[in-house]
Copies of this chain bind each other. A is one copy, B any other.
């Protein structure tokens, strides 16, 4: 199984020793390495009747990669531990592996190691290593009163796609696709770091919830301008059809792995970023001056 997963795969130059020994060796030219890990469990973070194994593999890598770019770094290496029931068809593990490698290729990175074990549910645990390229990491704690608040990437699409799946609707394939495989704006992370972003995070729990984490870490408040966060036509159309609130998707939907960051007042925002509010003294996340009245965040679907 492990041989099937690594055979014929091309490692980047940063992989000094790939899979096959007791451990891998990767270059860390910067003298530092950025690292994060996420575990996805079948039935909780994904359903194999809603997503293909290839999509699950891509999503698992995407959410890990988003944690690295949101530090202003770039992923170089992934380690993948996979638990599967004994009766899992090889076609499923092959497709999962293909999905993992295809998203890893988006970064020009490599899968440098892993483990495969038997388990009752499919469990995918990924660790990603990243390179800061000589820059300081952009933390959640650096926002200062007066900074611009900006976002890059889609908001609410994954939540809308999940709502369509739950409703059994086949009318919104692009939204469903965004739930199956998020498309985080990877390059916007390092670009924000180069542009002087003072704080950054990826949006995994929802815009309000994740800006809440950033505001606590920075000891500031965040004022969002609802006019700058109007749901797009796709979301409005789906909300009408599904009897849902498109603004709720935008403000509380997670899993798109958009990026949120703060930039000094007056700084030009890099490509892909748009202004959505301002940092102020105080605490909490407000929308048009009021506390967000909807759901506070987003949880996995079971």
Interface residues of A (CB under 8 A from B): 16-17, 20-41, 44-45, 66-68, 70-71, 73, 77, 79-83, 112-115, 117-121, 123, 125, 127-130, 132, 137, 139-141, 200-202, 217, 300
Contact B123 A44 (CB under 8 A): no
- Residue of B67, B80, B130 near A37 (CB, 8 A) is B80
Chain B contacts of A200 at CB under 8 A?
22
- Residue of B23, B45, B79, B115 near A130 (CB, 8 A) is B23
Question: How many angstroms from the CA of A38 to the CA of B73 in the assembled complex?
Answer: 25
- Residue of B35, B79, B128 near A26 (CB, 8 A) is B35
Contact B71 A123 (CB under 8 A): no
In the assembly, how many copies of this chain are there? Answer: 2
Contact B81 A37 (CB under 8 A): yes
Shortest distance from the beta carbon of A198 to any chain B beta carbon, whole Å: 14
Contact A32 B28 (CB under 8 A): yes
Among A68, A129, A300, the one with the most B-chain Cβ atoms within 10 Å of its Cβ is A129
Contacts A67-B22, A83-B123 given; does A129 touch B33 at CB 8 Å? yes
- Residue of B24, B45, B123, B130 near A39 (CB, 8 A) is B123
Contact A38 B81 (CB under 8 A): yes
Contact A37 B113 (CB under 8 A): yes
